Structure 1
Amino acid sequence: MKKEDIIKGKLSLVEWAHSLKAIPDDLWFQPFREGSWGSADVISHFISWDHFMIENRISHLVKNEPFPKMSIDVEEINKAASTYARSGITKVQLINELISIRQRLVSLLGELDSERFDMPLPGKEHITLVEYFVGMIEHDQKHITEINSFISQNKES
């Protein structure tokens, strides 16, 4: 995969996110299954991790700086995302926030030289930037499929 493919893959979420504005409000928070997230939680999860990548990864790559040394509490970030999704923000506001932050992330990726995508990540020399983002795109797709399946199943009932 090349830089352009990564950008296209990360940007594909934007068009899909616009379509979510049509999700009926009664399905927006409904969990996919017992004990799981709902669509709102996943959208907020995307926002949280895009923000993390911008602040703690991509902005440092753009400046050719090493990643900050930090411990990452994945569960805490995900819990905060779910709390935010349920804080009173509207569906449209949350979706627009996702679109905005994803476009910002993609814009920053565009500032990186194409060669940078084939280089190892600072402090994670076992993985290149392109490999990292292939994993992130696959993660996006997993959640997109999850939401699309949930909506399809519930429109039929």
Structure 2
Amino acid sequence: MNKQTILSEKASVAHWAENKKSISNHKWFAPLKEGSWGTGDVISHFIVWDEFLLEHRLPYIMNHEPFPAFKIDVQKMNQDASDYARAGISKEQLIDEFTSIRSKLVQMINSIPEERFDSMHQIGSRSLTLNDYFMGLIEHDQKHMQEIDDFLNDDEMKQ
């Protein structure tokens, strides 16, 4: 995967999310499967993790520095994302907020020189290329997008 593919993949999620503004309010928080999040929760989850990347990962990548060692409470971050989505923000506002933060993320990734994508970066005790790091993030985006699309397509089939 090269820089342009990474940029395209990360930007495409914002376009995908824009198309979710037409989801009914009833379906917006309906669990994608038993015991799981709804679409609104996932969109908010994207926001929280994009903010994390912008604040706690990309500045270190930009400065050729290893990521600082600190405890990440993934469960709390995810719960906070869900709570935020359900605190009264409209579907349209949440999607607009996501597309704005994703645009900032794409711009920051774009500012990384192309040759750096094949270089190794220290992440905790692991070393991996930026290409591999961003590929993992893209796979995460795609997993959630597929879950939502499958839910919405399955729901349409039942009607």
The TM tier, using the shorter chain, reads: over 0.9
- How many residue pairs were aligned? 157
Aligned residues: percent identity? 46
Q: Secondary structure at the residue paired with 2:57?
A: helix
Aligned to 2:136: 135
Decide whether the 8 Å contact of 1:59 with 1:108 is kept in 2. Answer: no
Decide whether the 8 Å contact of 1:117 with 1:130 is kept in 2. Answer: yes
Q: Secondary structure at the residue paired with 1:84?
A: helix
Q: Secondary structure at the residue paired with 1:122?
A: strand
Q: Deviations over 1:46-78 (max 9, x none)?
A: 001000011000122223333222111111111
Aligned to 2:148: 147
Question: How high is the TM-score relative to the length of structure 1?
Answer: 0.94
> What are the ranges of 5 or more consecutive residues in structure 1 without an aligned counterpart?
none
* Aligned-pair CA distance for 1:116: 1.2
Q: Return structure 1 stretches of 4+ with deviation > 4 angstroms.
A: none
Aligned to 1:78: 78
Give matches, 1:8-157, under 5 Å: 8-124=8-124, 125-156=126-157, 157=159
CA distance in structure 2 between the aligned counterparts of 1:120 and 1:85, rounded to whole angstroms: 36
Structure 2 letter corresponding to 1:45: H
Decide whether the 8 Å contact of 2:122 with 2:128 is kept in 1. Answer: no
Q: Please identify, of 133-142 and 65-74, the stretch whose mean Cα deviation from structure 2 is larger.
A: 65-74
Structure 2 letter corresponding to 1:143: H
Q: CA RMSD in A?
A: 1.2
Question: How high is the TM-score relative to the length of structure 2?
Answer: 0.93
Decide whether the 8 Å contact of 2:29 with 2:40 is kept in 1. Answer: yes
Structure 1 letter corresponding to 2:130: L
> What are the ranges of 5 or more consecutive residues in structure 2 without an aligned counterpart?
none
